[in-house]
Amino acid sequence: MTRCRLFAASALLAVSSLASAELTPEQAERAVETRQSVLHLMGWNIGPLGAMARGRMDFDVDRVQTNAGRLVALANMLPDAFAPDTRANEVSTEALDVIWEQPEAFAAKIQATIDASNRLVEAAAGGDENAMREAIGGLGSTCGSCHDDFRADD
């Protein structure tokens, strides 16, 4: 019992010191790689949908449904993916410091993308092209809106 409690206490200590400690270079590299991977996959999944919305590709409802579901899952990973604060580390990133300086504003941008991807799932379930086009455009603008404020220009 005593040993168990001691273990719990030290585990708690480890967690709280982890939260405040700076990331090691390896942790920071991995954190950047992880969040960029999530965003890369978001780009990969919205790419064909953007082409459909712009009339460069025929609408394929199955594809829209599949990718919309993936985008919901990926958008829901963003809070965890951006949890590690890499401001103090030398990393190659386009993430601006303001992400961790204004966490509420950043969380609101994530929520807008989650909401817009859920709306796309609904539109895709209906299968109406105009509704899908509108929902794809709506989702795309939430990406751009976050990039405007929180991502360095290329």
Beta-bridged to residue 95, according to DSSP, are 151
Exposure string of 38-58, with b = 16+ CB inside 10 Å and e = fewer, is: bbeebeebbeebbebbeeeee
- What Å distances lie between residue 64 and 5, 50, 68, 137, CA to CA? 51, 10, 6, 13
4 annotated to bind ligand? no
Residue 94 as a binder of ligand HEC (CB under 6 A): the answer is yes
- When the beta carbons of 12 and 98 are compared against ligand HEC, the nearer one is 98
Binding track, positions 33-72, relative to ligand HEC; x by CB under 6 A: --xx--xx-xx--x------------------------x-
Residue 31 as a binder of ligand HEC (CB under 6 A): the answer is no
- What Å distances lie between residue 76 and 22, 98, 127, CA to CA? 25, 20, 24
Q: Return binding residues for heme c.
A: 143, 146-147
Q: Give the residues lining the site for ligand HEC (CB under 6 A).
A: 32, 35-36, 39-40, 42-43, 46, 71, 78, 93-95, 106, 109-110, 113, 139, 142-143, 146-147, 150-151
